[in-house]
Amino acid sequence: MHVVINDLKKSYGEGGSFVQVLKGVNLSIKEGEMCVIQGTSGSGKSTLLNCIGGLDSIDSGSVKVAGNEIAGLKSDKLADYRRENLGFIFQFYNLVPNLNVRENIEVCKYLADEALDIDELLDVLGMREHASKFPSQLSGGQQQRCAIARALVKNPKLLLCDEPTGALDSKTSRDILMLLEEVNRKYNTTMIIVTHNNSIKNMVDHIIYIKDGLISKDYRNDNKIPAASLEDL
């Protein structure tokens, strides 16, 4: 298993403002799987993603990625874990505005020991002709493609995606999902996608629903359809 979580609990605040967001989550995700995590706002899905990514500390429980326990790691070791294992894609692209597309990608290439070839990524993501443009010169979909390339250039074992199509129209959303599908096929990258979009679950291997801080459904999809065929995006 690539990701194994046991009895994960996470809370915020103290006293009257105390809120327990995750109440004992258990799950496992196989290497090379595309997995969707769904749930209503406040259900804990983004908090769960942040705990897997080492962006949030946990109260108790276990989070293992590729057999390595990350719960309780100190900040320097967490930084090593994120650099060596993870790519992040968010709803908002977080590109550096005064760097062009190629330079935005190169920022993360320097963090990797076995980086992917930037020109190959630009070709895969259809961004070669935009390599010299700045973020302000790109459409939303092109900015998201650049963000995906930046996340992938490190050749991460695990790609964490928080609402990667949330700010995009339906056509661009489908294009981005087709790219993620191609990346998964080409590089065998394990992907965890947090989304409100109910259609995306149809293209992935594994679906997890979280409700009130607990896993309410956890099943594998035996009838995957291609991202190009998704409806109601």
At 206, list the tokens. Answer: 């594994």
Question: Which contacts (CB < 8 Å, 24+ apart) does range 134-137 have?
Answer: 134/97, 134/98, 134/99, 134/100, 134/101, 135/93, 135/95, 135/96, 135/97, 135/101, 135/104, 136/97
Determine the pLDDT at residue 50.
94
For the beta carbon of residue 164, count every other beta carbon within 10 angstroms.
Answer: 28
Q: For residue 158, what are the β-bridge partners?
A: 86, 190
Determine the pLDDT at residue 183.
87
Residue 113 has pLDDT above 80, yes or no: no
pLDDT tens digit sequence for 163-214? 988 888 888 889 889 989 988 998 899 999 999 899 999 999 999 999 999 9
pLDDT tens digit sequence for 50-106? 999 999 999 999 999 999 999 989 999 998 899 888 999 988 888 999 999 999 999
Spatial distance between the Cα atoms of 209 and 213, rounded to a whole number of angstroms:
10
DSSP string, 154-206: T--SEEEEESTTTTS-HHHHHHHHHHHHHHHHHH--EEEEE-S-TTGGGGSSE
Determine the pLDDT at residue 181.
93
pLDDT tens digit sequence for 125-136? 889 999 999 999
Give the start-to-end residue ranges of the domains of the chain.
32-59+83-224
Spatial distance between the Cα atoms of 227 and 193, rounded to a whole number of angstroms:
14
pLDDT tens digit sequence for 19-50? 999 999 999 999 999 999 999 988 999 999 99
Residues 144-167, mean pLDDT to the nearest whole number: 90
Question: What are the residues whose beta carbons fall under 8 Å from the beta carbon of 156, sequence distance 6 or more?
Answer: 85, 86, 87, 189
Which residue carries 């989304």 as its tokens? 195
Determine the pLDDT at residue 53.
94
Residue 1 has pLDDT above 80, yes or no: no
Fold held by 32-59+83-224: Rossmann fold (3.40.50)
Residue ranges of alpha helices (H) inside 53-134 are 75-85, 101-109, 118-124
Determine the pLDDT at residue 83.
87
pTM of the model: 0.91
Determine the pLDDT at residue 126.
87
Determine the pLDDT at residue 116.
86
Determine the pLDDT at residue 128.
94
Determine the pLDDT at residue 7.
97
